Amino acid sequence: RCPHPLVFDPDNPLHLDYVMAAANLFAQSYGIGGSRDRGAVAELLRHVRVPPFAPKAGVRIHVSDQELQSATAALGMGAGGGGGDDDTNFHMDFIVAASNLRAENYDIPPADRHKSKLIAGKIIPAIATTTAAVVGLACLELYKLVQGHRRLASYKNAFLNLALPFVGFSEPLACPRNKYYEVEWTLWDRFEVQGLQPDGQEMTLRQFLAYFKKEHRLEITMLSQGVSMLYSFFMPAAKLRERHDQPMTEIVARVSKKKVGRHVKALVFELCCNDDTDADIEVPYVRYTIR
């Protein structure tokens, strides 16, 4: 179902409901007084010029339910809050207004306050059961970690279905051990590479490749960061010459079309490598420190 943008109208009661609820929730967050005077707020809004909607560039649209579920799992989902039964705190006002505006986007019939409250109320049992059980079981394992238990058998995987109810435990499996030359590694290991050189300059791609050849006897055949391919042995010669003497962060920014933020202290690189015999081998990822 293709959505359409809404045109803000201060005389539309639903639009005013949303602004009233959102503004008062912001006011509560910052400890300042809100307002329940709808007439005064509506008068203020008549002088607000809302720019026309323009889609953001670079936004990925999920074309299947599987893509959407994967993205949701990667971001993590959470719920919480208090005072859900207090009809004066603007929580339900915001939920009703926001959900009905989204329904209008998609030409879906709106839900009244009573139906919205019933739907929102069903979240509470989920918080108080499965989430609580998972948090409790995870904290039990953290206690063992803090106490310094080193035997893998001391820790437990938990499987639960509260509808049955069923709770079962099993011993976790050790992570697979890999090896290149005489070096053993697991998924907990990584290469640590300091991107800034003693002279204050950042490592170039040429220096990065040479570092692994000299220090680890590894010939990098492919190098990626996230979904961006930074280097490959089959890359066109002209592009390779262009990138060879560029700093690593500059290559990342150009290929991903996103600037590396000043808050970013390190980048994660994935490698494909050959050993001395030209055999393809698995190696850990790289933590490339830039600040």
pLDDT at 289: 96
pLDDT value of position 77: 47
User: What are the chain's domains?
Assistant: 13-121 (1.10.10.2660), 125-170 (no CATH), 178-289 (3.10.290.60)
Q: Angle formed by the axes of helices 91-105 and 13-29, to 10°?
A: 140
The predicted structure's pLDDT at residue 79: 42
User: Could you list the pLDDT tens digit for every one of the 291 residues in the chain?
Assistant: 788 889 999 899 999 999 999 999 999 999 998 899 999 999 999 998 888 888 888 777 777 777 777 776 665 544 444 444 677 889 999 999 999 999 999 999 999 999 988 887 777 666 667 888 899 999 999 999 999 999 999 999 999 988 888 999 999 999 999 999 999 999 999 999 999 988 989 999 999 999 999 999 999 999 999 999 999 999 999 999 999 999 999 999 999 999 999 899 999 999 999 999 999 999 999 999 998
Q: pTM of the prediction?
A: 0.54
For residue 233, the model assigns a pLDDT of 94
Gap between the Cα atoms of 226 and 260, Å rounded: 13
Could you write out the DSSP letters of every residue in the chain?
----PPPP-TTSHHHHHHHHHHHHHHHHHTT------HHHHHHHHTT--PPPP-PPTTPPPP-SHHHHHHHHHHH------S-TT-TTSSHHHHHHHHHHHHHHHTTPPP--HHHHHHHHHTHHHHIIIIIHHHHHHHHHHHHHHHHT---GGGS-EEEEETTTTEEEEEPPPPPP-EEETTEEE-TT-EEEEE-B-TTSPBPBHHHHHHHHHHHH--EEEEEEETTEEEEETTS-HHHHHHHHTSBHHHHHHHHHTS---TT--EEEEEEEEE-TTS-EE---EEEEE--
121-175: pLDDT as tens digits: 777 666 667 888 899 999 999 999 999 999 999 999 999 988 888 999 999 999 9
Q: How far apart are CA 274 and CA 253, in angstroms?
A: 27
Residue 80 pLDDT? 43
- Give the per-residue pLDDT at 72: 67
